[in-house]
Copies of this chain bind each other. A is one copy, B any other.
Amino acid sequence: MVPAEATAAAPPVPDQATARTWLGQMLLIRRFEEKAAELYSAGKIRGFLHLSIGEEAVSVGAVGALAADDNIVSTYREHGHALVRGLPPGAVMAELFGKANGSSRGRGGSMHIFDAGRRFFGGNAIVAGGLPLAVGLALADRMQHRPAITACFFGDGAVAEGEFHESLNLAALWKLPVLFLCENNYYAMGTALARHQAETDISRKGVAYRIASAAVDGMDVTAVADAVRAAVARIRSGGEPFLLECRTYRFRAHSMYDPELYRDRAEVDEWKRRDPITLFTDRLAREGVLGEGEIEQLDRSAHSATEAAVAFAEAGGWEPVEDLAKDVYTEAGNAPDVP
């Protein structure tokens, strides 16, 4: 498996403001997760921690192309999605710490970041578990005549699950506004794409459901943004689902314990040459959109936002043990309002 070729000519470079946003967001994810890895080693973060380092262009390009009312359904590898969605980095970091000021009051940890107000419906630790939820969210929008769409992230590994099949059929059959967004990083844990899929071109799988689809270079934030914008426009106008495969790569271990026996260092290095942040900064510099100083400034901001997030998490308290059984059920009078 070798790095994805750009499937089309790269879209034009964005304007300065957009470039700043995208680069800033990619850098934030990178620095945030590098820090999280450190904090894991330090024992501040426990359990499972899945980093999206290497895949930032997908989070930034995709989430950035959605409207605020659009729903997001994500996976356990969701820090990037959450940060771009606008969850405060502090709330996300505090969640990783398990603190009460975390986005899920610390109850969920890294795999279960939620923000109901921002229509960020998690964080799901069951591979492909989110796809049926996305169908339902889109159904609710459709039945209530709301214009929102639902973006549903999942990995290449999820494609093998029955839930992928059932959900794509349901969404297509019922003409629901779902963007199925596959983050194909060529591995499901240690199992390479070609060892888990008979058809490795995931975008072709739309055929089985009459779902329009495309594949895009997931290392190029401009390409992802473009493809998602087009897909979303198509979904909004036609009201039917779309399958978008973003070809990307995970630079780090699957989770924190992973000897990476299943891939060569050389393959990883090859992909790192297409680091989405480097690719984008090089281009911005080359085309004169952002100067070196500005780029450095963005990186400093990412670092300091990360530091602030850590400070916020450190300052947070622990959910009292007496509240252990709180919120297993909805307390009377605490039911959510009808949207």
Interface residue ranges, A against B (CB under 8 Å): 160-166, 168-169, 172-173, 195-199, 204-205, 207-211
Chain B CB within 10 Å — which of A162, A195, A207 has the most? Answer: A162
Known contacts A199-B207, A205-B208; A166/B172 CB under 8 A = no
The distance from the CB of A211 to the nearest CB of chain B, in whole angstroms, is 7
Contacts of A211 in B (CB 8 A): 198
Identical chains bound together, number = 2
Q: Is B196 a contact partner of A173 (Cβ separation < 8 A)?
A: yes
Q: Which of B166, B168, B209 contacts A161 (CB 8 A)?
A: B166
Q: Kindly state the separation between the CA atoms of A166 and B160 in the bound complex, as whole angstroms.
A: 6
A sample of 19 cross-chain residue pairs with beta-carbon separation below 8 angstroms, ordered by A number, consists of A160-B169, A162-B162, A162-B163, A164-B165, A165-B166, A168-B198, A172-B198, A172-B199, A173-B195, A173-B196, A173-B197, A173-B198, A198-B209, A198-B210, A198-B211, A199-B208, A199-B209, A204-B207, A205-B208
Q: Which residue of B lies closest to A171 (CB)?
A: B198
* With contact pairs A198-B209, A199-B208, A204-B207 given, residues A166 and B162 touching in the complex (Cβ less than 8 Å): yes
Residues of the B chain whose Cβ atoms lie less than 8 Å from the Cβ of A198: 168-169, 172-173, 209-211
- A208 with B207, Cβ < 8 A, contacts A160-B166, A161-B166, A162-B165 known: yes
> Across the interface, which residues of B come within 8 angstroms of A205, CB to CB?
208
Give the distance in Å from the alpha carbon of A197 to the alpha carbon of B166 in the complex: 10
**Distance between Cα atoms of A204 and B169 in the complex (Å):** 14
Could you tell me if A207 and B210 are in contact, using CB atoms closer than 8 angstroms?
A: no
Q: How far is the CA of A87 from the CA of B92 in the complex (A)?
A: 64
> In the complex, what's the smallest C-beta–C-beta distance from A167 to chain B, in angstroms?
9
**What are the residues of chain B within 8 A of A163 when measuring CB–CB?**
162
Cα distance A169–B169 when bound, in Å? 16
**Which of chain B's residues have a CB closer than 8 A to the CB of A172?**
198-199
Q: How far is the CA of A236 from the CA of B160 in the complex (A)?
A: 26
What is the CA–CA distance of A207 and B173 in the complex, to the nearest angstrom? Answer: 19
Q: In the complex, what distance in Å separates the CA atom of A199 from the CA atom of B210?
A: 6
Complex Cα spacing A199 to B212, Å: 12
Chain B: minimal CB distance from A112 (Å): 24
Q: How far is the CB of A82 from chain B (nearest CB, A)?
A: 28
Chain B residues within an 8 Å CB radius of A160: 166, 169
Bound CA span A278–B199, Å = 42
Q: 13 additional contacts, CB 8 Å, given A164-B165, A207-B208?
A: A160-B166, A160-B169, A161-B162, A162-B164, A162-B165, A169-B197, A169-B198, A172-B199, A173-B198, A198-B209, A204-B207, A207-B207, A208-B208
